[in-house]
């Protein structure tokens, strides 16, 4: 089976490094003002450190694609033009764009940089792909609304361009994110297509009759609740072979605002799945689907990949992603046989935990908990820095993470 690119989100510099170390061939990253995700945590990527971010990806053997995929107003164009020299100096491997004005600026100031056409353009057919090819694009990121059979036909009709397709992550109730609900409900203060969506599709709604303003009626009267607009998350790990056979060159995971644990665990799972498929194209991928239930999700769906989207592709009972395993701690150092960790969720002495690293995954037991003064503790509280000793320790702890064992029942039934 041919090699394909695993493309992971890089919401900040730390996530960029972990995504690559856990298996990504490439990352996509954006700077505030010009991409569709505005990051708020960690060492966010700005014009000042963009070149460092791209260099870090290159030094780790991966590619870095710069997202400039906002729908730009005049002020955006003026600001972007003033920054083009710095964007060019960062030397990204490609620029992801959707707006014709932005494309013009990229062609003018970065003529040697490949252009990737964003999923925001809603590319659904081979004639559109031909148009973008003839316009100078080297890759088209296809709309999430495409069945795999249609992707195969596009590849047949247009063999001389790269095709990218989403395989995992949150989905938008609108066509590829072109939604105005957030703009309307926040009086224009949180624009969806400027990286600051308030996600009204995840809200719970009630119906009010205009002549009875104080009487509320649930839109859904059953046990599923009233999250009528909230799609489940996409998960195509069990259909990777079909996507590769259809001609997809790059498999993309959504999630620049997701956690470090999410990015690492998802990257590791898809890397392992792709590596196994390369050795055995008939390998059963269901075990990887189980693995992906351990990260935050609203229930999984195959979306439009197998044909028409169905009513069960919507998450009527939850709007926030629930993880089947709790992220427990990060490794920050080592002293003798003990490891300094940052606790994310409470752990107790003798707890069994699952440790994952870029090269390992195993279950072990916490044999000792000490505070920084060397005093034994019965537990490690959330946000504590403590020293842990394990029954079995990772061979390389530097990028290791730990989580609870198995998949919680409520996630497996989502």
User: Domains of the chain: which residue ranges?
Assistant: 5-175+230-313, 327-406
CB atoms < 10 A from the CB of 233, how many? 23
Rounded mean pLDDT of 347-364? 98
Separation CA 261–CA 402 (nearest Å): 9
pLDDT grade, residue 56 (50/70/90)? very high
pLDDT grade, residue 81 (50/70/90)? very high
pLDDT tens digit string along 202-245? 777 666 656 666 665 555 545 545 566 778 899 999 999 999 99
pLDDT tens digit string along 158-172? 999 999 999 999 887
Q: Is the pLDDT of residue 201 over 80?
A: no
pLDDT tens digit string along 85-109? 999 999 999 999 999 999 999 999 9
Q: How many residues does the chain have?
A: 414
Radius of gyration from C-alpha coordinates of the chain = 22
What is residue 412's predicted lDDT score, i.e. its pLDDT? Answer: 45
CB atoms < 10 A from the CB of 71, how many? 16
The SS3 assignment for 359 reads coil
Buried-exposed string 279-296: b where 16+ CB fall within 10 A, e elsewhere: eeeebebeebbebbbbbb
Q: Is the pLDDT of residue 38 over 90?
A: no
Check whether domain 327-406 has CATH 2.40.30.10, yes or no: yes
Find the distance separating the first CA and the last CA of the chain, reported in whole Å: 32
Q: Beta strands of 170-284 (E only): which ranges?
A: 206-208, 216-218, 233-235, 250-253
Place of tokens 């605002």: 257
Rounded mean pLDDT of 274-283? 97
Q: In terms of C-beta density within 10 A (0-12 exposed, 13-18 middle, 19 or more buried), how is residue 225 classed? A: middle
What is residue 42's predicted lDDT score, i.e. its pLDDT? Answer: 59
What is residue 33's predicted lDDT score, i.e. its pLDDT? Answer: 64
The SS3 assignment for 196 reads coil
What residues are paired with 231 via a beta bridge? 314
pLDDT grade, residue 413 (50/70/90)? very low
Rounded mean pLDDT of 4-32? 95
The widest CA-to-CA distance across the chain, in whole angstroms, is 72
Rounded mean pLDDT of 371-390? 97
Q: What is the residue-wise DSSP string for 221-245?
A: -STT-S-TT-BPEEE-GGGHHHHHH
Rounded mean pLDDT of 318-326? 79
Mean pLDDT, rounded, of the chain? 89
Strands 162-169 and 250-253: parallel
Check whether domain 5-175+230-313 has CATH 3.40.605.10, yes or no: no
Q: What is the residue-wise DSSP string for 33-69?
A: TTSS----SSSB--TTTHHHHHHHHHHTT-EEEEEE-
* Range of lowest pLDDT (111-115, 388-392, 408-412): 408-412
Whether 5-175+230-313 shares its CATH topology with 327-406 is answered no
């Amino acid at each position: 089976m041919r090699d394909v690119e695993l493309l992971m989100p890089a919401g900040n510099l730390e996530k960029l490094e972990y995504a690559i170390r856990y298996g990504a061939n490439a990352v996509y990253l954006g700077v505030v003002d010009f991409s569709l995700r505005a990051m708020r945590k960690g060492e966010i990527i700005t014009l000042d450190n963009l070149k460092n971010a791209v260099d870090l990806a290159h030094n780790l053997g991966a590619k870095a694609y710069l997202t400039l995929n906002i729908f730009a107003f005049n002020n955006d164009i003026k600001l972007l033009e003033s920054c083009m020299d710095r964007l060019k100096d960062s030397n990204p491997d490609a620029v992801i764009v959707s707006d014709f004005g932005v494309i013009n600026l990229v062609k003018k100031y970065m003529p040697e940089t490949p252009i990737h056409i964003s999923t925001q353009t809603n590319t659904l057919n081979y004639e559109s792909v031909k148009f973008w090819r003839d316009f100078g694009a080297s890759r088209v990121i296809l709309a999430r609304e495409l069945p795999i059979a249609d992707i195969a036909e596009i590849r047949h009709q247009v063999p001389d361009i790269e095709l990218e397709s989403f395989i995992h992550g949150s989905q938008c109730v609108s066509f590829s994110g072109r939604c105005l609900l957030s703009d309307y409900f926040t009086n224009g203060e949180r624009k969806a297509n400027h990286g600051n969506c308030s996600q009204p599709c995840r809200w719970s709604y009630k119906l009010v009759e205009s002549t009875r303003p104080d009487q509320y009626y649930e839109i859904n009267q059953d046990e599923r609740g009233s999250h009528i607009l909230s799609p489940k998350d996409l998960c195509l790990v069990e259909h990777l072979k079909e996507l590769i056979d259809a001609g997809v060159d790059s498999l993309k995971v959504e999630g620049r605002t997701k956690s470090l644990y999410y990015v690492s665990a998802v990257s590791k799972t898809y890397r392992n799945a792709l590596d196994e498929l390369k050795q055995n194209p008939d390998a059963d991928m269901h075990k990887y689907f189980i693995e992906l239930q351990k990260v935050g999700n609203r229930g999984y769906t195959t979306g439009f990949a197998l044909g028409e989207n169905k009513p069960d592709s919507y998450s009527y009972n939850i709007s926030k992603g629930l993880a089947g395993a709790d992220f427990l701690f990060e490794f920050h150092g080592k002293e003798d046989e003990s490891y300094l960790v940052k606790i994310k969720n409470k752990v107790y002495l003798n707890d069994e935990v699952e440790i994952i690293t870029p090269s390992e995954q195993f279950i072990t037991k916490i044999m000792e908990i000490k505070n920084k003064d060397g005093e034994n503790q019965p537990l490690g509280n959330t946000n504590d820095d403590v020293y842990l000793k394990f029954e079995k320790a990772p061979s390389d702890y530097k990028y290791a993470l730990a989580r609870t064992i198995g998949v919680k029942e409520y996630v497996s039934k989502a």
